[in-house]
Structure 1
């Protein structure tokens, strides 16, 4: 190399570049191009100094993006000139605790989500000649734990819960060898130096024998086993064992909500659910979520796994431990969150033994500490891409990049149900893993600890705190207790639409259709069937579903028949069978609706679904949030092409006469029409009415883009009907993919609304 032509550059790489094998990749890239220098981590990402001929350096820097490791997400590469020093070779240098490298680093080192076991580690796991044969914690730079074990940044072994496991000589050689795929893999370990499995009985006492074999025998004998995974404990039973599934339901106090099932591989999953290409892609991706898909007739699972549901949630093994257990059982098994209903997932060992006592008959545990709890993510395929229903393990905490700047650091506290929170800075929003319903001390503790962890990891010091308008939400109370911050209240349905806009990088204005259960409106009533003309900064309520009283308030959510009673009294309808089932309380509930005493008005789409489910005889009382709507969707007769007619009532706001749907359903039910046909006619009638309402608003405003958000759009029948109808009407339709349409996406919407307010 000619010294006259030698150049040196300082490079900063920002994005998801720690915990993904990026430094080893840079070393290899430097070797390919004959570049000398060094690479390291710091709190802002990766810093590099590289020396070589100009053309070589150009190819090297281009390769940082174009040839990056599979788990990496390079967002920005900054380059500035430096003075050549003539050093030989290329090396990884110790991490720095302060920012360094090229130019001002506006970002922060991103923490990688956990990644499912790669093919290379899986081959080792099953090779009797390999030193990691049947080792439950095998991992490399392409797979393994990340977010759930990270305690700080930059990402090094000392900043993970692997810090207490000193590498043996063999692992240390792999870690130091640039040619090895475990080169600088921070969780690297083996049976000689890493975490170990144990089997414990119901009282927490050690049980002799191979822990995998012990757990498998327990499952085969019909017992409930608590399994410590990546982000917390799960409860497992054999999926085909009706008695075991029933016992799990009784002990967990989860009467009807479907359980997820783990299948050994794609072929096994295909015997349980219908997989199209998109669903298979999701199932086998590195995130390894639960994939919700239509259940196959005759699938070898107990009816109690998913009672009343047409779909089944299936996932593949995502750690060596799960692969070993699946290989040994050769049968699908239920794997559901290790908690009681309404509690967060247990992830601390002592806490799990206490909270799951009386639920689990035995425990399969290990001694690697979980730093951050993370439930399994839940997705389904819609039109060839993911529709995320619960964003957690495998996806969080990867940021959502937006095209607008957050002028100040933001904390958005989310909603009460299906809570997530969001911290934001620069142009990145970090949406948390699924926290759950903020209705217990344990869940609130997870929320507060999670906020502190995200602020620490991502260098966020909130100056603006966004929250829901509902004063009784615990997330709102938490926001209002913060000191020295500016508080921004964000209306629930505006946040829904803003979250959809943020995901698409669209600033608005749009016509937003926000359909969900309940959210406090600006007029003090409970909204939930809203048509908004909205951008990020503001909204106007341009239309909504007809309002109706909720007799008994929260009791009407738990007992959908109450909503049916209120609607039937409004439209003078009658369903004798329904009235007879609740004859003792029916007159009092109707009177409550008429007087408005303990019967707040609502425009909720979710409560409309509840009413029709009760009218059709599908569901009178629920055991979990959204059950009536889910079971009504499951009953839809795909061959029915009819649709109930619905009037639009002109005005400001425009009103969709939802009572017409209830009246038509009641007439059919009284005449003995099958519930499947009622369900189909209701879905199609509602979708047609909303499309017509959007057309009216489109004519008034000139807007041709529609955003759909809210938990009701987890309903695939309604979603497909509305998207198809709007597209036929020549609207551009924005739907969710990476962010849940339900309340799990609210925090992102709150964050971007608060930032838009801050920019004004």
Structure 2
């Protein structure tokens, strides 16, 4: 930030960050009045520009950093002297168009002031489903292009009444330039339709509540898409939702009427309480209390629960008329993007829902709910969504090239580099389906439109078959591949602005290695110019290829073949062995010996799966990471002894651990789960002790495990240990890592190819 000289009483100030759609201009106006400043403030596509004239301009500039609106964030503030002008007042001017690189305004949950108005029978917005102000409501989800003004949002279709117009143009009102401003006279309207699209007469909220009370399933239109909702205390309703949606076991999020109701079903700490009840109200993963009336089908086998409370006035109006919690899960198919239009609900989920609570405010940009959890008091971002995305990271390296990073194949997200900003998108979904790939391409077009750019360079994963790699190749422009696990480390470095050499641990389910094999248990010395792979998990054969990812027992059997003869395996007392018939084991052993459909993987995620089988936790998975989540429920912090392992020339051999798990037997599941986490901790400590001078940086889906993360924070402490908190620790931030490398290297290189390490 430039330092203002006390001699400059006339200055031009440029502010970048989250300064649009958050009440920043009225805030500047009030500060200007306080310090007798003349001039103006306006939104531009590049940020907020202020021209200030007055004897107290230095004090005015200092005050801009204090008492910011709750959702505002200043990333940079530059000050330049300007010619003195004889303004009579300080005014808020109309926005200007231009080349953009500013932060996109983000969604905020219903604020206390609007909530109070909703509850006031004398207020003209009493029980109004679309109440909002500059502190709350839709932003990115209704935005068509920057800068953020009503004419560039889907609210342009609603003409303000005289009363709303008066608030909108009054700088002293908290609705001054609240772009989604409306009221029952002039705003969006609710309707309730059946699963064929026919409107049902009556009060839409009463009709929705009636269905929920009768055990039926509805779709409700939120800020960034539809929720599927049903009675969370009804086994019949929840099991019917699972049956219709073909979602056998993956945990379902639960929305509670209030924080107080949530605390009757969960055990939450102060950090979790503040996040659940805060300005965003994301889904927070917390400890579930046992013995409540929640359906046993909400999170089978898991003692954790994804919870949130109403964040839109519409959700709140529904909860005014029911006193039980509701399942509120994204309306989508499998891991595809969330659905934003009632016509899509009818066409794709008409056999899932009984009714649809819809409205006519168009969702321009789909955006799922964010999902977070806490580990030892630190945020772990699991899914980047509403209120957090798109996420802007200031980049010290200001290359002239416009770069688009295309991310990973699963948990897809993109990142755009332009000027001194890196912008990470929200969660898109797992690519590979027509719908997901189409939404991915629409998100690319949205970012290009918002920032008025045409990327000259595309960065992608090394995997040649990924949709993102093929998309990059089809652009007929320069494109460059970055190794997946190196990108994990880079993503964490980008969040913290690290540019030095680090010790990186990238642990996940899978990623394309430089040698063409499946990596995922990687230890690296890395910096912004490259990496050296100094350690990795001894590769495990995945018997049956992709089938092994769904059946951990196959991976466990592969490890047993490493430790014992075929006859010994056949006679073992092991839950992994007992799920197979003898002839099946012989066939799989033949595959293992002959290396038939048995690709090798160094994945730590696959090791989690194997241990979940060996310990008798689960043998076949219904969703990614299920084995690890179940084991997490058994882990106890008081058990610290690791299993045996050895490391030779960087190769991590866990076969001694396998034998010790077999010796313990399934009656010691708490010990197995706890000691396994201690083993991972000890492996990381081994490398950390080898390089005591290096910061420790982690990344990858394995670190979504709260029990493991809590241990790591306690083990390595503050100052040396870096784990992402503002961006996803999983594949959702791969694009940020790809972009961070590209910003520091590729615009200055003539030749593009595939990055091959140090």
Partner SS for 1:503:
helix
Whole-angstrom CA distance in 2 between matches of 1:435 and 1:80 = 40
Aligned to 1:549: 541
- In the TM superposition, 1:700-719 aligns within 5 A as 703-719=693-709
Measured against aligned partners, the alpha-carbon deviations of 1:500-540 in whole angstroms (never above 9, x if no partner) come to 11111111311111110011111121111111111122011
How do 1:345-744 and structure 2 match up within 5 A? 345-484=338-477, 486-572=478-564, 574-583=572-581, 585-649=584-648, 651=649, 654-669=650-665, 672-696=666-690, 698=691, 703-727=693-717, 732-744=720-732
TM-superposed CA distance for 1:213, in Å, is 1.4
Q: CA deviation at 1:7?
A: 4.9
Could you tell me whether the CA contact under 8 Å between 2:101 and 2:421 is conserved in 1?
no
Determine if contact 2:417/2:743 at 8 Å carries over to the other structure: no
User: Are the aligned partners of 1:16 and 1:398 in contact in 2 as well (CA < 8 Å)?
Assistant: no
**More displaced 10-residue stretch of structure 1: 513-522 or 299-308:** 299-308
* C-alpha contact (below 8 Å) 1:704/1:731 kept by paired residues: no
Cα deviation for residue 193 of structure 1 reads 0.3
- 1:17: Cα distance to partner? 1.2
- Specify the alignment match of 2:42 in structure 1: 40
Shift of 1:606: 0.7
Corresponding residue of 2:754 = none
Q: 2:143 aligns with which of 137, 142, 150?
A: 150
Given that 1:646 and 1:686 are in contact with CA atoms closer than 8 Å, whether structure 2 keeps it comes out as no
Match of 1:12 in 2: 14
> How many residues in Structure 1 have an aligned counterpart in Structure 2?
735
- Higher mean alpha-carbon deviation, 123-132 vs 85-94, is at 85-94
Cα distance in structure 1, aligned partners of 2:292 and 2:392: 37
Question: Following TM superposition, by how much is the alpha carbon of 1:638 offset from its aligned partner in structure 2, in angstroms?
Answer: 4.9
Q: 8 Å contact 2:27–2:68 — kept in the other structure?
A: yes
Partner Cα distance (2:49, 2:269) in 1? 42
Instruction: Provide structure 1 residue ranges, at least 5 long, that are not aligned to the other structure.
Output: 100-106
Report the 3-state secondary structure (helix = DSSP H, G, I; strand = E; otherwise coil) of the residue aligned with 1:78. Answer: strand
Deviation of 1:97 after TM superposition, in Å, equals 1.6
Which stretch of structure 1 is more off in the superposition, 65-74 or 521-530? 65-74
CA distance in 2, matches of 1:704, 1:49: 45
Q: Is 2:82 the partner of 1:82?
A: yes
Deviation at 1:61, TM superposition (A): 2.4
* In 2, Cα distance between equivalents of 1:336 and 1:42: 37
The Cα shift of 1:635 comes to: 2.5
Q: Say which SS state the counterpart of residue 303 (structure 1) adopts.
A: coil
Q: Deviations over 1:484-510 (max 9, x none)?
A: 3x2121111100111111111111311
Q: Residues 180, 490 of structure 1: CA spacing in aligned structure 2 closer, same or farther, 3 A cutoff?
A: same
| 2:166 equivalent among 173, 176, 185 | 173
Distance 1:69 1:668 in 2: 57
Preserved CA contact (<8 Å) 2:110 2:311: yes
Q: Report the secondary structure of 1:364's partner residue.
A: strand
Q: Secondary structure at 2:382's aligned position in 1?
A: strand
Whether the 8 Å contact between 2:106 and 2:139 is mirrored in structure 1 is yes
SS, match of residue 408 in structure 1: coil
With normalisation by structure 2, the TM-score equals 0.94
- The alignment's C-alpha RMSD in Å is 1.9
Q: d(CA) in 1 for partners of 2:406 and 2:366?
A: 18
Q: Deviations over 1:433-491 (max 9, x none)?
A: 0011002100011111001101221233322211111111111111111123x212111
Following superposition, the deviation at residue 640 of structure 1 comes to: 4.0
Distance 2:45 2:641 in 1: 59
Q: Contact 1:414/1:422 (CA < 8 Å) preserved in 2?
A: yes
Alignment partner for residue 262 of structure 1, among 255, 273, 276? 255
3-state SS of the aligned residue for 1:513? strand
Of 216, 219, 235, the match for 2:212: 219
For 2:446 and 2:63, locate their aligned partners in 1 and report how far apart those are by CA, in whole Å: 33
- Segments of structure 2 that go 5 or more residues without pairing to the other structure are 1-6, 750-758
